Each structure stands twice: as structure tokens, then as C-alpha cells.
Amino acid sequence: MDVIAFLGSPRKGGNTETLLNEAIRGTGMDVRVFDLNGMDIQPCQDCGDCEGTGECTIQDDMQEVALAIRAADRIILASPVFFSGVSAQTKAMIDRCQQFWCEKFLLKKPIPAGEYERRGLFLVVGGMKTPSGVECAGTTAKAWFRSISVPEHKTLAYTGVDAMGAIKKHPAALGEAFEAGRALIQP
Ligand SMILES: Cc1cc2nc3c(=O)[nH]c(=O)nc-3n(C[C@H](O)[C@H](O)[C@H](O)COP(=O)(O)O)c2cc1C
């Protein structure tokens, strides 16, 4: 089973990364993690090149990401809430998946499910107590999973988690992330 993960927070050892590491530990697998902050992923230019081909023509690290998304059986997306949505690092990668949207909805060629089906997990952490930020981020994640032919995903969302390391003081978050990782790899 091929499991990949995206880390959308720039804060090293921050709340999102801590949560993601627990989920990965729960899988018990060797998960390939794309640390988006350190990658060269330019924003989508809406050039339309992918409309007829399902392929993006921008040459950067997204080529490698796209191959990994295509091959994966399980995909974990982890992002902090930044201004009521996913982080810019996360959103740039998501927007570049327009190539998969075109392939699926214009060319009628969804990414085929392999032996294990395709399933996802969305981890999101917001500093404010109100749920609107994680909800907006969740809407984006839902559209993304659908476009990359991941028909089913679970979401773990935590609000009021702001300071560095605050997630470690949350009464349930780390255990829930571990369990979600464990559940993710079940057939
Ligand atoms: C640029 C920026 C924008 C933010 N905007 C929001 C927001 O709109 N809503 C919210 O709940 N938290 C917001 N936060 C707080 C982060 O979501 C919070 O600190 C989170 O725990 C960061 O996760 P990390 O440690 O993985 O980076 C923002 C933080 C930054 C740096």
C-alpha cells in the first residue's frame, strides 16, 4: 500500500506537523511526506494547457507530486488555518491539481483505484475557537480529494490550538490522529 502525506505548515515542529507525525505513526508505514514549504510549487497560471491533456506544463516540483498523487492508495493532507482557509503552501499544491480535475471531469478519466481503493485523511489546526476557519479549509480539502479521485476521506479538525506545541496539551488530538492513521490503512 502506497501512503503519501502533505505537510502544509511552515512552522517546523508546529501543531500541524505534530499531528501529522502521530497519524503517520498510527499507520506504522513508511510514509513519503512532501514538506510543501520547502518545495518549488508555483501557483496555477490558469493557462488552460491541462484542459485537453490532463497534464500541467509548468516544470517544477509539482511534476513529482502529481506522479505520487496518481500512484497513492492513501493520502494525508495536513494544514494549519491561515486567514480562514488552508495555508498558501497547501493551496498552491491544491490549485496545481487542476490537471486532475480536467482529466476527471473534462476528459472523463478519473484516476483508477488500485488494489486498495483510494482513501484520504485531512488534518487541520486553527488558532481561533470559532469553527469557520477549519470549515472553510475543509471545503477546499473536500474539493481537492474529489478532484484527485479520492472518494472518501476523514477529517480531524482542532480549533483554539494556536501557540507552538499547544496541540500536545489537547486532551484527545494526538490519540485521535494516531487512531485515524491506523484506521486509514485498513483495507
Ligand atoms: C498567517 C496566519 C494566519 C492565521 N489565520 C488564522 C485564522 O484565520 N483562523 C485561525 O483559527 N487561526 C489562524 N492562524 C493561527 C494558526 O492556525 C495556528 O497558530 C496554528 O496552530 C498553526 O499551526 P502550525 O503550528 O502547524 O503552524 C493563523 C496563523 C498565521 C501564521
CB of residue 80 inside a 6 A radius of ligand 1: yes
Chain centroid to CA 161: 19
- Amino acid identity, residue 40? D
With residue 121 as reference, give the H or E element that holds it.
Answer: strand 119-125
Per-residue pLDDT of the chain (187 residues; tens, 9 = 90+): 999 999 999 999 999 999 999 999 999 999 999 999 999 999 999 999 999 999 999 999 999 999 999 999 999 999 999 999 999 999 999 999 999 999 999 999 999 999 999 999 999 999 999 999 999 999 999 999 999 999 999 999 999 999 999 999 999 999 999 999 999 999 8
CB of residue 162 inside a 6 A radius of ligand 1: yes
Q: What are phi and psi of 85, to 5 degrees?
A: -155, -170
* 103: containing domain: 3-184
CB of residue 11 inside a 6 A radius of ligand 1: yes
CB of residue 56 inside a 6 A radius of ligand 1: no
Number of domains in the chain: 1
Contacts of 118 (CB under 8 A, 6+ apart): 72, 73, 74, 75, 111, 149, 150, 151
User: Cell numbers at residue 115, please?
Assistant: 488494489
Unique residue bearing C-alpha cell 471531469: 105
The CATH number that applies at residue 75 is 3.40.50.360
Q: How many angstroms does the Cα of residue 87 sit away from the middle of ligand 1?
A: 8
